[in-house]
Amino acid sequence: MTRRSGLLIGAAFLAGLVAGPGSGVVLRTMGVHFGVPTALAETGDNAETYRLLSLFGDVFERVRADYVEPVTDRDLVENSINGMLTGLDAHSSYMNAKAFRDMQVQTRGEFGGLGLEVTEDKEGVIKVISPIDDTPASRAGVKAGDLILAIDGKSVQGLTLNDAVEKMRGAPNTKISLTIKREGVDKPLVVSMQREIIRIQVTRAHLEGDVGYVRLTQFNEQSDPGLRQSIEKLQTQSGGKLKGLVLDLRNNPGGLLDQAVAVSNDFLDRGEIVSTRARHPDDSQRFDAKPNGDLIRGLPLVVLINNGSASASEIVSGALQDNQRAILLGTRSFGKGSVQTVIPLAGNGAIRLTTARYYTPSGRSIQGLGITPDVTVNESRDAPEHLLPEREADLNRILTNTGGTNAQPLPPRADIPAFAKQIPDKPPKDWPSFDPTKPATDFQLQEAVKLIDAMAGAKHAAAR
């Protein structure tokens, strides 16, 4: 009997040490045997199924015998499996053993590496966004803005970001050197260090005056604990006078379903969080908030979203919006409303198979639509360039949006202060260029802080 081993609810996994700011996976062991069903078909004519399998065998043998270059049976079979799955929709796929291991590393949130968050700039150069505190990279003196020229003396020119990250990862206690170019330094620097177990830094937090800010880059096993630690730290730093919180889910592609539920529950103490509806009714689920779950005890909450906020991020955003617990500010989210099941194949990786759609507490399906913020604010005056699909609706073979309550408007919000109407939908002409190391240049964040101030003022006035 086939057992489902996990639910994927995200758009994509980070492929690097942490490749830029940024799928959603819930891995749950539900049995001891994993495999592909041996039944030829649940319904229909088995004779037709045998005929089609015979056709597959004929093509397999022809390619094996006559393709211009020798090809292994494994490659042919794995390509066939992947073609079968990717032909269904944009999120079903086959993962070979290595890809499956990488996915498991990503969901655990730890790996052998250096502790660098890196990205690829417009010129194709590998650039350090930030070293993670107390890791080999930070102790070796690697700084934000450093350009990585070579790894162990070999140039990174021509490598993809994922390839470069793969070379920097490795077994703990192994040595590695990076050749870096630093602004203001004439000669390249060679930095040597030793790999360690790295825990992905999924949360970042700081105070904007007396307003807390927490950025959540993905949903892995470290997300809910990291969020809780960040909120506790902010409460302490503010001397217990925290006015409100901004939760930044921009460019967060998702992660573990149980973490999305846990993060939602960190701000809710009642109500539904999300429900899933599968082909078989017995596989459908509903997740509800637990009492006394709100870590900030009703303080004003603003959630930042954009077109890079997908899946698990949309579950959290939808739960907080539908329960009128948070005001969403930013731009429309990605729109991935499907659930994938991870089915391990013994010794041969795993498959990701779309098995359900998910719905927000009001019954909305965001599939192909995304979540519309309560207050629309663009990050810049000019529309950003999008080399990759901007939203789910831009992908090939997307699921239809069915079974939801999308035609019904959401209940009117009584908690949005009048100030929200004064917030401009784009920065002024003289607004400085965005620098991730300088929060003052983040227009959406600064407007969110102003909104928190207005919400806190309105709440204080109502309490008089």
190-233: per-residue pLDDT in tens? 999 999 988 777 899 999 999 999 999 889 989 999 999 999 99
Look up the CATH number of domain 203-463.
Answer: 3.90.226.10
Token readout for 444 is: 């959406």
The CATH 2.30.42.10 domain(s) of the chain lie at 111-199
Residue pair 359/280 in contact by the 8 Å Cβ criterion? no
C-alpha 390/C-alpha 399 separation (Å) is: 16
Q: At what angle do helices 257-265 and 312-322 cross, to 10 degrees?
A: 30
Looking at residue 90, its pLDDT comes to 87
Task: Quote the pLDDT of residue 394.
Answer: 78
Q: Angle CA(291)–CA(294)–CA(295) in degrees, nearest 5?
A: 130
Residue located via tokens 């505190």: 133
In the chain, CATH 3.90.226.10 sits at: 203-463
Cα 129 to Cα 179: distance, rounded to the nearest angstrom: 16
Rounded Cα distance between 350 and 341, Å, is: 10
As given in the structure block, the two tokens for residue 366 are 């965001």
What pLDDT score does 399 carry?
Answer: 84
The residue count of the chain comes to: 464
CATH number of the domain located at residue range(s) 111-199 in this protein = 2.30.42.10
Q: What is the pLDDT, as a whole number, of residue 236?
A: 97
CB within 8 Å of 272: residues ≥ 6 apart: 286, 287, 288, 289, 319, 322, 323, 361
**Residue segments in the chain with a per-residue pLDDT below the cut of 70:** 1-45, 122, 383-389, 463-464
Q: What does the DSSP 8-state code read for residue 87?
A: T
At 389 the pLDDT is 62
Which residue do the tokens 């690697």 mark?
142
At 386 the pLDDT is 55
pLDDT in tens, 84-120: 999 999 889 999 888 888 888 778 877 889 988 787 7
Please report, as a single letter, which amino acid is at residue 391. R
Q: Which residues are catalytic?
A: 311, 322, 336
Q: Are 238 and 210 in contact (CB under 8 A)?
A: yes
User: How many whole angstroms separate alpha carbon 130 and alpha carbon 123?
Assistant: 19
Which ranges of 279-387 does DSSP label H, i.e. alpha helix? 312-322
pLDDT at 233: 97
Would you tell me how many other CB atoms lie within 10 Å of the CB of residue 436? 14
Nearest to 356 by CA among 395, 303, 315, 306: 315
pLDDT of the residue at 381: 85
User: What is the separation of C-alpha 313 from the centre of its chain, rounded to a whole number of angstroms?
Assistant: 7
Q: Assess contact for 348 and 73: CB atoms under 8 A.
A: no
Rounded to a whole number, what is the largest CA-CA distance in the chain? 84
